[in-house]
């Protein structure tokens, strides 16, 4: 086992800048901008879809990353952006609950991250890996992407996507052109540009929407360059209210995201050539993610997660410097105060985001399938077949379980219920005996 780990974390390339090496100012500014662009498209898409403030998501992304760097002792070069796993739960929750209840549930999700991190510190991580094997996590990730599919398609077709009204051929054309640009960027562009197909797709789609005359430019003209960001302040814009049932909906998603977090850390370990599980420790990484999520929810932003796009930037550039990551975080915070920028993002028509989302949500679903392939899951094994089948149908079918314990209402729906079902089946179904 020790030899295996040595091989996994053996440095295969020499870095241009190692973790603690500091670049010159202008060089650092350029390198940090690359990371900013890599995370930008996905990070602003989440608040766009959920209705949360864009500026809050940007600031939460930046400050959350800085908090993560602090908690991990400046040893792990990872950028935190908005989490896609929470899009559907947040959207559904905001439709049926108050803003205070939703943000409080997200805040306690961050606390759960911290608790799990502390348990890992005391008991190790084997229990978590046993609870969330690929046969559970893979199909749940597929459900995340496929569950969001109707959102993307409706945005691409309807002027009023929320009510599925106003079927528009103009919207469809803009969405298709946006999708085409995003696909071409994803397939044919290499290097750093190959890591930002979402951003390129949004820019191309926005230009297309301008040509079709469906962009309202008045809010941009009427907004100053510098403006106070739109943030939700506790007890001013909302009253924190604990809804235990809503928290139970978020709980299984937290476990799935932590599993993804561990996967990202494995990749970073390999790229950088260090075992960050041991130093500073996996528990610090998860706690850092949790604290970032707690901060984000406090100001009205979505939960955070480590970003695969930014991990890709590390791999291509061989720039592992924590100073570069921190610089990107500071730039994200600054952007949150640029009024014109926020107004431009908010002016992006829904078919542009719909076109981009068709590919992005499909990629999320495909990444779950890839996890199953990489883990060499045998579907001739009935146990695996049953677990995956139940998760997919419950999640995509949007099954929900409503019940009351005492006077407290509980609701498990779609993805959350699918994750719970998968975890339970994995625990109770007998495993195939090994020869």
Cβ neighbours of residue 390 closer than 8 Å, sequence gap 6 or more: 418, 421, 422, 425
For 112, phi then psi, to 5°, come to -65, -40
Is residue 137 situated within a structural domain?
yes
Residue 189 has pLDDT above 60, yes or no: yes
pLDDT tens profile 355-365: 988 888 888 88
Taking a C-beta distance cutoff of 8 angstroms, is the pair 136, 391 a contact?
yes
SS3 state at 7: helix
Is residue 97 situated within a structural domain?
yes
Is residue 407 situated within a structural domain?
yes
Block residue for tokens 């924190």: 240
- Choice between 88 and 297, residue whose per-residue pLDDT is larger: 297
Burial 329-338 (b: 16+ CB within 10 A, else e): bebbbebbbb
**What's the pLDDT score for residue 2?**
44
**What's the pLDDT score for residue 268?**
86
End-to-end CA distance of the chain: 21
Which of 61, 126, 74 has the alpha carbon at shortest distance from 334? Answer: 61
- Choice between 390 and 366, residue whose per-residue pLDDT is larger: 390
Instruction: Please state whether the peptide bond connecting residue 280 to the residue before it is cis, i.e. omega within 30 degrees of 0.
Output: yes
From the DSSP assignment, how many helices (H) and strands (E) are in the chain?
18, 6
Is residue 158 situated within a structural domain?
yes
Per-residue DSSP letter, 319: B
CA of residue 420 relative to chain centroid, distance = 20
Distance CA 239, CA 251 (A): 21
SS3 state at 304: strand
Is residue 431 situated within a structural domain?
no
**How many CB atoms within 10 Å of residue 424?**
13
pLDDT tens profile 303-325: 998 887 788 788 777 889 999 99
Is residue 145 situated within a structural domain?
yes
Residue 160 φ/ψ region, left for φ over 0, alpha for ψ in the -120 to 50 degree band, beta for the rest: beta
Average pLDDT, integer, range 133-156: 88
pTM recorded for the entire structure: 0.81
Which domain, by its residues, includes 244?
2-426
Taking a C-beta distance cutoff of 8 angstroms, is the pair 146, 396 a contact?
yes
H or E segment to which residue 189 belongs: none
Distance CA 154, CA 331 (A): 33
Task: Report residue 411's pLDDT band, with 50, 70 and 90 as the boundaries.
Answer: low
∠ CA 426-432-435, nearest 5°, is 145
Which of 345, 340, 335 has the alpha carbon at shortest distance from 221? Answer: 340
Is residue 435 situated within a structural domain?
no
pLDDT tens profile 238-280: 999 988 888 888 888 888 888 888 888 878 888 888 888 888 9
For residue 412, CA distances in Å to 8, 311, 401, 404 come to 39, 33, 5, 11
Distance CA 341, CA 225 (A): 8
Task: Report residue 103's pLDDT band, with 50, 70 and 90 as the boundaries.
Answer: very high
Domain tally, the chain = 1
Residue 38 has pLDDT above 80, yes or no: no
Distance CA 75, CA 384 (A): 38
Q: What is the token pair recorded at 246?
A: 């809503």
Distance CA 232, CA 220 (A): 22
Distance CA 285, CA 72 (A): 6
**What's the pLDDT score for residue 9?**
59
| β-pair partners for 377 | none
Is residue 163 situated within a structural domain?
yes
Distance CA 270, CA 304 (A): 23
**What's the pLDDT score for residue 153?**
92
């Amino acid at each position: 086992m020790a030899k295996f780990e040595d091989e996994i974390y053996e440095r295969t390339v020499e870095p241009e800048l190692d973790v603690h090496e500091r670049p010159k100012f202008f060089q650092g500014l350029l390198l940090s901008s690359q990371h900013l662009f890599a995370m930008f498209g996905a990070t602003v898409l989440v608040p766009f879809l959920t209705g949360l403030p864009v500026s809050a998501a940007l600031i939460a992304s930046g400050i959350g990353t800085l908090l993560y760097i602090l908690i991990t002792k400046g040893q792990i070069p990872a950028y935190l952006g908005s989490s896609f796993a929470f899009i559907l739960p947040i959207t559904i929750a905001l439709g049926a609950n108050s803003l205070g209840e939703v943000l409080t549930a997200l805040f306690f999700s961050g606390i759960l991250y911290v608790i799990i991190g502390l348990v890992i510190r005391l008991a190790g991580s084997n229990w978590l890996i046993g609870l969330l094997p690929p046969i559970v996590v893979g199909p749940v990730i597929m459900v995340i992407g496929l569950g969001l599919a109707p959102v993307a398609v409706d945005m691409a077709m309807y002027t009023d996507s929320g009510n599925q009204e106003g079927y528009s051929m103009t919207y469809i054309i803009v969405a298709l052109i946006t999708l085409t640009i995003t696909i071409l960027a994803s397939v044919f562009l290499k290097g750093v540009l190959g890591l930002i197909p979402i951003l390129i797709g949004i820019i191309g789609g926005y230009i297309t929407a301008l040509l079709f005359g469906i962009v309202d430019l008045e809010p941009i003209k009427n907004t100053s360059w510098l403006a106070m960001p739109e943030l939700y302040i506790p007890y001013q814009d909302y009253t924190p209210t604990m809804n235990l049932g809503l928290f139970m909906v978020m709980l299984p998603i937290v476990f799935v995201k932590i599993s993804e977090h561990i996967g990202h850390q494995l990749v970073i370990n390999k790229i950088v050539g260090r075992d960050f599980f041991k130093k500073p420790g996996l528990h610090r990484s998860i706690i850092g993610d949790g604290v970032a999520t707690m901060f984000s929810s406090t100001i009205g932003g979505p939960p955070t997660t480590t970003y695969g796009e930014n991990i890709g930037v590390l791999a291509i550039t061989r720039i592992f410097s924590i100073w570069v990551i921190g610089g990107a975080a500071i730039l994200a915070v600054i952007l949150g105060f640029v009024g014109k920028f926020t107004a431009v993002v908010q002016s992006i028509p829904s078919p542009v985001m719909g076109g981009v989302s068709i590919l992005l949500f499909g990629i999320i679903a495909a990444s779950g399938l890839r996890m199953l392939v990489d883990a060499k899951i045998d579907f001739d094994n009935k146990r695996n077949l049953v677990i995956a089948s139940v998760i997919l149908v419950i999640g995509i079918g949007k099954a929900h379980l409503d019940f009351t314990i005492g006077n407290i209402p509980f609701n498990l729906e779609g993805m959350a219920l699918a994750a719970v079902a998968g975890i339970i089946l994995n625990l109770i179904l007998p495993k195939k005996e090994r020869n």
